[in-house]
Structure 1
Amino acid sequence: MDTKSLIIDNATILFQQKGYKGVGLNEILRVCNVTKGSLYHHFPNGKEELLIACLHFLNEVITLDIVDIFEGYPTTLEATNSMIEKLIVNLETEGTITGYTFSSMVSEMATLSDLVRKACAELYAKIQGIYFKKLMEDGYSKELASNIALMITASIEGTMMLCLVETSAKPLKVISQLLPNILKEF
């Protein structure tokens, strides 16, 4: 792994675990075992530029995972339930789902930095786009597919935060149980 990738990978984990403000540059340097000069070589504008690179990295990782899941199932309901089940398994076996959520970074930084807000908005839009595409394949109208995609995105992101706060998979299990009823109503 090259130095830039190493920094992004480790900083992403730290930001997810502790938030942007909870992680200092010295901690990133120590965990990555790199010098300050090396970090600034790859991220001349410092910590915020690094955060944006981490968000772009998460964008790729999360959306590729969701696309893989959604391409493997014939309906939105089956794909979403599979994705939720994967999150539940991760939470119950690893004790966390931080690799799948970036909400803590969004809530902390999106109002302070337009560049961070835009990077987060891109990720949410990509996720919603995956759901939207599958809902369209399921036969929903364009407007309804768009609205349901937004609802699924907001529900899952919020539920992941609840799971982390409660240290329990129960919120994900509840969403998984309610989702079939919600999709049937439309």
Structure 2
Amino acid sequence: MGRKGDETRSRLLDATQDLVESGGYFGAGLNQVVAASGAPRGSLYFHFPGGKEQLVGESVRRAGREIGRTVRDLAEAVPDTASLVTGVLALLGDRLEASGWRKGCPVATVVLEMAAVSDPLQEVCAEVYGSWEGELRDRLAADGHPEPDDTATVLLALVEGALLLARARRSREPLDRAARRVAALLRPS
């Protein structure tokens, strides 16, 4: 694929990610994706012959990689897992607030709407969550935490739940409360 094809594909994925994050799977109709991306309709089917399911799946996977990179970059800049998780909460909170409380987690909306009815989308969402858990597990293990697998799951659930509550309340308060509890959760027993 040439440069122009790559750019068109990227615009389609950008538009899909934006629409899915703000309006969910059902808020990202193909007509809306074409309009938001400025791409010709035929390009949609050329780049994503599997249709909307493939387009959304690749968009979620791509967004997951972007957040994964952000987590890895932050992990290199902070001294411990507690600082990493509070930093992630702050970054995602900034993103959520800047979007007018429309863009929380790029995976949560899709998994809530589609995991029960679309095996391919459920698998993509599980893959992305698994990669994020892996980042947390690796950091916990490096910090010498005795239960990195279980704790990584708990921390991811805490971040996801805090984002959901913050979006519902249009307030950073749930994120701030979660951040305050992280140090206590990671304190050695």
Q: Considering the TM-score relative to the shorter chain, is it more than 0.5?
A: yes
- The C-alpha deviation readout for 1:28-79, integer Å capped at 9, x for no partner, is 1111122221110001121111011101111210100111111211210111
CA contact (8 A) 1:101 1:160 kept: no
Q: What SS class does the counterpart of residue 12 from structure 2 fall into? A: helix
**Which of 153, 156, 159 matches 1:153?**
156
Q: Which residue of 1 aligns with 2:29?
A: 24
Matched, 1:7 2:12: yes
* Offset from partner CA, 1:125-172 (integer Å, 9 cap, x none): 11111111111111112xx11101000001101111111111110100
Identify if the C-alpha distance between structure 1 residues 92 and 32 changes in structure 2 by more than 3 Å, giving closer, same or farther: closer
Tell me the distance in 2 between the aligned counterparts of 1:22 and 1:82: 30
Gaps of 5+ in 2: 1-5
Alignment correspondent of 2:118: 113
RMSD across aligned positions (CA)? 1.6
| Alpha carbons 1:90, 1:97 under 8 Å: kept | no
Gaps of 5+ in 1: none
Is 1:46 aligned to residue 44 of structure 2?
no
Match of 2:3 in 1: none
Partners of 1:93 and 1:53 lie apart in 2 by 24
Q: Deviations over 1:159-186 (max 9, x none)?
A: 1111111111010000011111111154
Find the aligned partners of 1:92 and 1:23 in 2 and give their Cα distance.
21
* Kept after mapping to 2: 8 A contact 1:11/1:54: yes
Residue 106 of structure 2 is matched in structure 1 by 101
Moved beyond 4 Å, runs of 4+: none
Say whether the 8 Å CA contact 2:95–2:103 is kept in structure 1: no
SS of match in other structure, 1:134: helix
TM-score, normalisation: structure 2: 0.91
C-alpha distance in structure 2 between counterparts of 1:85 and 1:160, whole Å: 10
Does the 8 A contact of 2:60 with 2:125 survive in 1? yes
Residue 87 of structure 1, aligned match among 72, 86, 92: 92
User: Deviation digits for residues 92-114 of structure 1, max 9, x if unmatched?
Assistant: 44433726432011100111111
What's the % identity of the aligned pairs? 29
1:37 maps to: 42
